[in-house]
Amino acid sequence: MAGSSDVIVVGGGLVGSAIAYGLAREGAKVTILDEGDVAFRASRGNFGLVWVQGKGDGMPDYASWTRRSKDLYQGFADGMLEHNGRDIELKQEGGLELCLGEDAYRENEDEIRRMHNQPGVGENDRRMIDAEEVRKIMPLVGPEVTGASFSPHDGHVNPLYLLHSLHAAARQLGARYVSGGKTLSIARDGDGFRAETEAGVFRSGKLVIAAGIANKWLAPMVGLDIPVNPNRGHILITERMQPVMPMLLVNARQTADGTINFGNSHEDAGYDTSISPAKLGEIARNVVRYFPILKNVRVVRTWSALRVMAPDGFPIYRESETAPGAFSISCHSGVTLAAAHALDLAPTILNGGFNDRFAAFSPERFNVSPAA
Amino acid sequence: MFRRLPEPRARAVHFTFEGEALTAHSGDSVAAALLGAGIGHSRTTPRSGTARAPYCMMGVCFECLIEIDGVANRQGCLVEVRDGMTVRRQQGAPGLPEDLADEGGK
Ligand SMILES: Cc1cc2nc3c(=O)[nH]c(=O)nc-3n(C[C@H](O)[C@H](O)[C@H](O)COP(=O)(O)OP(=O)(O)OC[C@H]3O[C@@H](n4cnc5c(N)ncnc54)[C@H](O)[C@@H]3O)c2cc1C
Ligand code: FES
Which chain A positions have a beta carbon within 8 Å of B92's beta carbon?
242
Which chain A positions have a beta carbon within 8 Å of B96's beta carbon?
241-242, 244, 293, 297
Mean pLDDT of chain A: 94
Q: What is the mean pLDDT of residues A274-280?
A: 94
* Ligand 1 close to Cβ of residue A315 (< 6 A): no
Q: What is the mean pLDDT of residues A191-211?
A: 97
Chain B residues 5-44 within an 8 A CB cutoff of chain A: none
Residue A56 predicted with pLDDT over 60:
yes
Tens of pLDDT along B32-51?
Answer: 999 999 998 999 998 888 99
The band of A371, judged by pLDDT with boundaries at 50, 70 and 90, is low
More confident residue, A201 or A367: A201
- Do A300 and B62 make contact, defined as CB atoms within 8 angstroms? yes
pTM: 0.91
The nearest alpha carbon in chain B to A238 belongs to B73
Which chain B positions have a beta carbon within 8 Å of A257's beta carbon?
46-47
Residue spans of beta strands (DSSP E) within A56-132: 95-100, 127-130
Interface of A to B at Cβ within 8 Å reads 139-140, 239-242, 244, 256-258, 291-293, 296-298, 300
* Ligand 1 close to Cβ of residue A336 (< 6 A): yes
> Which residues have a Cβ under 8 Å from the Cβ of B9 and sit 6 or more positions away?
none
* Ligand 1 close to Cβ of residue A34 (< 6 A): yes
The band of A370, judged by pLDDT with boundaries at 50, 70 and 90, is low
Tens of pLDDT along A278-330?
Answer: 999 999 999 999 999 888 888 989 999 999 999 999 999 999 999 999 999 99
Whole-number Å distance between alpha carbons of A188 and A204? 10
* Ligand 1 close to Cβ of residue A48 (< 6 A): yes
Tell me: ipTM over 0.90.
no
Q: What is the mean pLDDT of residues B78-86?
A: 97
The pLDDT of residue A268: 93
Please state the length of chain B. Answer: 106
Residue A142 predicted with pLDDT over 50:
yes
Burial (CB count <10 Å: 0-12, 13-18, 19+), residue A10: buried
How far A107 CA lies from chain B's nearest CA (Å)? 27
The pLDDT of residue B93: 86
Q: What is the mean pLDDT of residues A139-161?
A: 96
Residue B104 predicted with pLDDT over 50:
no
Residue A3 predicted with pLDDT over 90:
no
Q: Which of A5, A6, A9, A7 is nearest to A212 (CA)?
A: A9
Residue type, B38: G
Which chain A positions have a beta carbon within 8 Å of B100's beta carbon?
293, 296
Q: What is the mean pLDDT of residues A100-104?
A: 94
- Asked if A34 and A222 count as a contact pair (C-beta separation under 8 A), the reply is no
Q: Which ligand is nearest to the CA of A210?
A: 1
The pLDDT of residue A41: 92
How far A332 CA lies from chain B's nearest CA (Å)? 32
Within an 8 Å CB–CB cutoff, is residue B100 touching chain A? yes
Determine the distance from the C-alpha atom of residue A348 to the mean position of all C-alpha atoms in its chain, rounded to a whole number.
Answer: 19
Could you tell me how many CB contacts below 8 A there are between chain A and chain B? 38
The pLDDT of residue A12: 97
The nearest alpha carbon in chain A to B93 belongs to A241
The pLDDT of residue A123: 85
> Which residues have a Cβ under 8 Å from the Cβ of A125 and sit 6 or more positions away?
A151, A152, A153
Burial (CB count <10 Å: 0-12, 13-18, 19+), residue B37: middle
Residue type, A333: S
Three-state DSSP at B74 gives strand
* Ligand 1 close to Cβ of residue A45 (< 6 A): yes
Three-state DSSP at B46 gives coil
Which chain B positions have a beta carbon within 8 Å of A140's beta carbon?
104
